[in-house]
Amino acid sequence: MEQTTTNTAIIQTSSEVSATHPRDQRAKLKARTDARAALKVLGWLTTQQVVERLGVTSSRVTQLCAKGQIPGAVRVGERWLFPADCIETYLKARVLRAEQRQALKDQHRLKREAKAAEVKARGWLSTDDVLKMMGVSRVTLARNCKQLQGMQVGRRLYFDPAVVAAFQANREATRREKILKRKARKAEREARQTVTQQNAQKKEELRALGWLTKQEIEARVGQKMYYIANGKRVGRIVLYPPDSVEAMRFALKRHTDAPLERRRWYYPDEVRTMLEKGWLTATDVRRELSITPELLNALRTAADATGAEGVQRVDGRWLFDPKVVEEWRRTLKTSKPERQMGH
């Protein structure tokens, strides 16, 4: 009892000196040195002695002091001093903590084992069983763990066999569906390739026989054709026989040379009535004036804007009065030298 009182008095004296003389470094150092010397005389241990007895590093001893795990440790200045019986007390406390931790571990282990036994009794599968059953890797199993509704027991997972079987059946069905889709796409791709090759071969054969495209026929005839007979589609293009050029030339000549009465049979009644009165169609006007469709459209638009009655649209067709056509003829004949001078 007297020794404990003496130790407390020495420590308090050191603290009072530090607080009473905060600026006097010599006094503080002397007080701390005297306190450490007095405690050593009373059997207190230094940090190095504690390190040697416990078999740990000095930093570990400092950590234990800061956590308060070494009872009775006192800091004097920048050094720690320990009572003589602190080692025995610390070791007893450490053994007690180790026993408590071990008891807690045993308790948790017993709970896990009981729960694992209960789960296995219900027929649930372990992770290894599921891996063998599904034939997948652990990464795939971890990715689909939520869908499999796994139950964690400690560090292990257990799965319901019904859920695993349903997931496996769904997975197999999805895999078969993907395989079928892949085969269907492959077959479709091969079919397209076959058709493309056949079209290319057929196109080469027809080209060798002299078949022409619509653009080539129009270039040779010299006029845009709205319909050409006997066409044959090969892939994305349409080819026509070699005699289509002569057939189109003959049809154009026959249509141009035919009398007006013979070409009016396919017009509606209202249009036929206007034609019988002497009105002309757009084709007749272009032939008589020898103008392009663009120029005829410009003349028609100008006449329509002025409200002329000589230009009418009947049943979707533009009809022109011969008087208006004659006026256009005089206008074009007058403006022709001017256009030539302008050029």
Tokens of 155: 């560090």
Q: For 173-187, 195-209, 215-229, 317-331, which range has the lowest pLDDT when averaged over its residues?
A: 215-229
Q: Does the pLDDT at position 34 exceed 60?
A: no
d(CA 146, CA 129): 17
d(CA 6, CA 35): 11
What pLDDT is stored for residue 187 in this prediction?
A: 94
What pLDDT is stored for residue 35 in this prediction?
A: 59
Backbone angles phi, psi at 250, to 5 degrees: -65, -40
Q: Residue 59: pLDDT band by 50, 70, 90 thresholds?
A: confident
What pLDDT is stored for residue 200 in this prediction?
A: 92
Tokens of 147: 């869908």
Report whether 148 contacts 167 (CB < 8 A): yes
What pLDDT is stored for residue 259 in this prediction?
A: 55
- DSSP characters over 21-64: -SS-HHHHHHHHHHHHHHHHHTT-EEHHHHHHHHT--HHHHHHH
Q: Does the pLDDT at position 130 exceed 70?
A: yes
Could you tell me the sign of the dihedral formed by the alpha carbons of 275, 277, 280, 281, in that order?
negative
Q: Which residue has the tokens 């729960």?
A: 115
**Residue 33: CB atoms within 10 Å:** 13
Q: Does the pLDDT at position 292 exceed 80?
A: yes
Mean pLDDT taken over the chain:
79
Average pLDDT over residues 228-253: 86
Strand, coil or helix: 296: helix
Q: Does the pLDDT at position 19 exceed 70?
A: no
